[in-house]
Chain A
């Protein structure tokens, strides 16, 4: 199996499944709340509908506003290409260096923030300010987590970390802290509870949603798709770090039987991940934004504990 083909398979699979993940989370959440809920594939219909619609662009916006959806989407696609989500050792796996991943994630956040500021509405600015605060203050925790994995696995690329991931976790139980911190980071980066409420209609409590209030039609579809992509990437990454035999493709070990296992495994990971996310979101409340410092410092301290225990145990 050539590494290039694996990259293509991974791209097609993850890019295709991303809206489903969001739908699954919503469906699980509705079920837990005693509702019937929308069908999990509703986001596909929603995206298709948005793509067909007219765009209304604010008069006060500039070229930056139009550039934002493309860049945000492109950073998501780039991450899907380099990270070990469905297969390790794919063609671009050498690029999954954690600094590059953190940088590209930050690039996506920065552009979303710029889009929010360009709308010239108070809501956009508010969301941007909050998102930027969270995105920048979460950064030390991100580095602490990946430094811990890098030290434990001896690899600086996430691909390398995942390849030794499950085993390294068993050998180095300290990485449990890093994993918990990674969950906290994932919640912050994806604007989920307790950092943000993804289903809110109240502008004053919004973070992510407030930035995209001004987007419509295809641009809105792109922004929403990018956030679905980011959520899927994080869920798969968390699963790959956690599950010892990660159900991943690898260029050297390729059998027809494995294909089914990987496909089913990937789907199961998404299913389980979105279920756990939905359970978390129905079990806890959103934190007040001005208490985010506590959340972010908690994430950092846990990540630091993981790193220090990895270093000194």
Chain B
């Protein structure tokens, strides 16, 4: 199945392929991710959609582990505290990511690290099981990500709950920090982990000078009232329904879906029913 025809390889068109299918001749095109060259032919190595940009042919797989890029925002969970000044973070990728002690904000801002009792000090910041939001800084030579939380937007997550969706459903957006009008904040990690939490007002966020370690690294949740909790459950269920129908996430979509469910005047748990979910999807598609 040779695809020398230009029309089949149009830019922007999407055609599905499977591993082993010959895409084109390697004289004319360069191969990208998801392909390999054999006998001067470019052959697909994953099952997915063909993408062509100028002379570059790539195949993007549908259900794959998260492939990190520098600058991506990810939500991860600490898996272990490794002795010399680093944390291992599970970010739903091929390897655990690494968070160095020097990549986090320490209290006071000036000190780099304490010399005595390193490990105990580290656990005061992040311990096993903690959730955090970070940005991919660089890659190690073996392909593991190196993360950093050197901004006030990043750091430990609290006041909410986590939902996991297939990573491909989270597209690269301008901002991954969304706020819904019902008082719910969303952080869409590109690795498929989405954090739904209570909204934190802009004015309450710490400024550069008054960086308070107690508040940022504390495990204490704020008091969350009932309406916010219900809203958080509702949004979580909406995300689950969307992900089971394989619909990519975006803030407009979530907003529409939320308003639709509120209009229905049902409970948050109604979204767990199959027919309610189908109705939601139908209403989104019509808009």
Please say whether chains A and B are actual partners in one complex. Answer: no
